[in-house]
Structure formats: C-alpha cells, structure tokens
DNA sequence: GATACCGGTTACTTCAACGAAACCGGGACC
DNA sequence: GGTCCCGGTTTCGTTGAAGTAACCGGTATC
C-alpha cells in the first residue's frame, strides 16, 4: 500500500501541514498545552518572549487546523481556556521528540558551529 | 537531574537549534539524505520545488551545524557528495516521526480547516 | 564552435512572519 | 475616579527567509 500523501511532491498538502508545524511558535504552544488546559495569560508567561499578538495568531492557526480547542468561559474577568484536541495531543508526541533532540544536542551543534567558524578564519 | 537546556527559556540556545530544524527545507534535505549519500543534482531532483540557491543555503547551514558532510570528489564533471553525519542521522529519527505525522493527518487537518472556514461564513 | 552537464553563485525582488507599542471594553477593587 | 486585570486587537515597522532568473568555469561531446 503506497502512501496517499508524499511530502516530497511539490503540490502535496502535507507540505502545508509541515509548514504549519514548523512555524516558529507552534512547538512551544503545543508543548505548553501538553501539561493541561491553560489560559492566555498563563501561556504568555510560560512561553518566554512571545508577544500577545503572535500568541493570538498561533492559537488561531492551531484552532483552525483542529489542534487546539478554545473555550470561552464568560464571567468577569473573562476566562478563556485553551487545550489540545486529540489531534493536537497526537502531534505532541513527535514534537516532544524534536524538542528533546534539540535540548539534548545543543552542545554538539554549538561545537560544530564553533569549529566551522574557526575553519573559515574567525 | 534537571535538564541543562530548556526551550521555554527566552535565551536558551536550544531555541536557535529548534529554529534551524524548523527551517522550511531542513526536513526535506535530511529525509532525502537518510536514504544514503547523494549529489547536489540528485537532491534537487528529489526535493520537488527547491531552487539551487535555497538548496545550497540549506546544505551549508546543515554543514555548519555538523548534521551534513560535504565531500568534493574532484574530477570532471565535478562530483560532490552530501551525506548525513551521525548527528544528522540521529536527527532524522524525530524528523521522520514529524513527517509521518504530517502525511498521516492531512485529511483531518483539511477537514478542520474546511469546517472553520464554513463556520466563519464561507 | 555550439551544446549540454555539474555544482553551484550573484543580483534583485517579494512577502509573510515576527516584533514593538499602544490601545480596547468590561468589570472589580480601593 | 483612578487603577488593575483579562484577553485580546490594531497599527506600524523590520527582517530575513525564500523565490526568480541569469550567469559562471571547466570539461566533454557532437
């Protein structure tokens, strides 16, 4: 059985999907929400350096793709809770592996960068 | 034992690493090279839609980070072979998982997108 | 001597993503 | 009546990654 979708094909929709996954802040939001539902301000605090605008954009995009659920709970002050959908939770698995890899191999990459900078004549 | 690096910290070098991994074409190049060493033109053919400029840039970046090895074999016509380093091969594991996820869940995401477009009033 | 192949490079342009900063309504608290 | 919090929105500016297209030297082929 061949696969229905192939990332190597120029027009394959999986490329769009991959692009979304690779967006700067997607991995952070999914990682944060993997610990449980969270409110906007909580997310903003946890993901250091993210601006409210970008956080909103990222959440909307993930919501559109069915990865994140947004629950407005009314009341005052307003309460909005974001959570991963089952699809989002399934994405978390490979994303966590990537995150893990990144955190684990930082020293090797820093080393390689230093070495190639030295080779060029830094 | 706490982790040495945490992606959630604003200044953590793992963020740079993650950024590189998330670059538009990284996953394609690593995936292609996972099948074995390959020449420039071969890569260009296999990764549909990539331009020579972007391919060069991506390969150089991956080389700098120690993920790809470049071997110029002289002769004429010139022969240059690119291959994954052990570090690159270790990255392939999580990347393949992400690629797999993307290819597998295309229909669900397309569905979700269609539904939220309809909800807005398409 | 025209053509094609390899492995790129160069110059220019475009465009989406990202970021900074200010602001919004509505309530609650003081 | 001033201030704070929540969950954003709006405007504007910047940046850098990506795309387009043309070209390069060297060789070998016809």
Instruction: Indicate whether B61 belongs to any domain.
Output: yes
The segments of chain A whose pLDDT lies below 50 read 122
User: Strands of A38-39's sheet, edge to edge?
Assistant: A38-39, A80-84, A68-72
Instruction: Indicate whether B8 belongs to any domain.
Output: no
* Percent share of chain B, pLDDT over 90: 87
CB proximity B28 to A under 8 Å? yes
The residue of chain B with its CA nearest to that of A98 is B94
Angle, CA of A9, A14 and A20, to the nearest 5°: 130
Instruction: Indicate whether B17 belongs to any domain.
Output: yes
> What band does B3 get if pLDDT is binned at 50, 70 and 90?
confident
| Alpha carbon separation from A110 to A102, A118, B1, B27, B94 (Å, rounded) | 11, 12, 22, 20, 20
**What is the model's pLDDT at position A118?**
85
**What is the model's pLDDT at position B41?**
96
pLDDT over threshold 60, residue B101 = yes
Mutate to test the interface with B, among A3, A17, A89 (most CBs of B within 10 A): A17
User: Whole-angstrom Cα distance, residue A22 to residue A38?
Assistant: 22
Count the domains in chain B: 1
pLDDT over threshold 90, residue B76 = no
Residue B75: how many other CB atoms lie within 10 Å: 7
The more confident residue out of B77 and A38 is A38
The residue of chain B with its CA nearest to that of A9 is B48
At A88, list the tokens. 């989002």
User: Whole-angstrom Cα distance, residue A29 to residue A31?
Assistant: 5
**What is the model's pLDDT at position A53?**
97
The more confident residue out of A90 and B75 is A90
CATH of the domain at B19: 1.10.10.10
The residue of chain B with its CA nearest to that of A69 is B112
- Cβ contact B78 with chain C strand, < 7 A: yes
Distance from the Cα of B74 to chain A's closest Cα (Å) equals 21
Terminus-to-terminus CA distance in chain B, angstroms?
52
Number of H helices, E strands in chain A: 5, 3
**What is the model's pLDDT at position B117?**
85
- Cβ contact A78 with chain D strand, < 7 A: yes
Chain-chain contact of B64 with A112 (C-beta, under 8 angstroms): yes
The more confident residue out of A20 and B76 is A20
pLDDT over threshold 90, residue B61 = yes
Instruction: Indicate whether B7 belongs to any domain.
Output: no
Instruction: Indicate whether A110 belongs to any domain.
Output: yes
Chain centroid offset of residue B100 CA = 13
Instruction: Indicate whether B6 belongs to any domain.
Output: no
Q: Give me the domain span that covers residue B80.
A: 13-120
> What digits encode the pLDDT tens for the residues B5-20?
999 999 999 999 999 9
| Alpha carbon separation from A65 to A78, B103, B108, B115, B121 (Å, rounded) | 25, 14, 8, 9, 17
At B121, list the tokens. 């009033």
Mutate to test the interface with A, among B23, B66, B104, B111 (most CBs of A within 10 A): B66
Inter-residue contact B101 to A98 (CB < 8 Å): no
CB proximity A17 to B under 8 Å? yes
Chain-chain contact of B103 with A7 (C-beta, under 8 angstroms): yes
């Amino acid at each position: 059985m061949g696969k229905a979708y192939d990332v190597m094909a120029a027009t394959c929709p999986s490329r769009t999907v991959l692009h979304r996954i690779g967006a700067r802040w997607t991995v952070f939001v999914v990682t944060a929400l993997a610990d449980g539902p969270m409110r906007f301000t909580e997310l903003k605090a946890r993901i250091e350096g993210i601006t409210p605008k970008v956080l909103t954009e990222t959440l909307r995009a993930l919501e559109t793709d069915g990865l994140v659920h947004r629950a407005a709970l009314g009341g005052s002050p307003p309460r909005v809770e974001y959570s991963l959908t089952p699809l989002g939770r399934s994405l978390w698995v490979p994303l966590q592996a990537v995150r893990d890899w990144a955190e684990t191999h930082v020293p090797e990459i820093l080393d390689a960068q230093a070495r190639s900078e030295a080779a060029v004549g830094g």
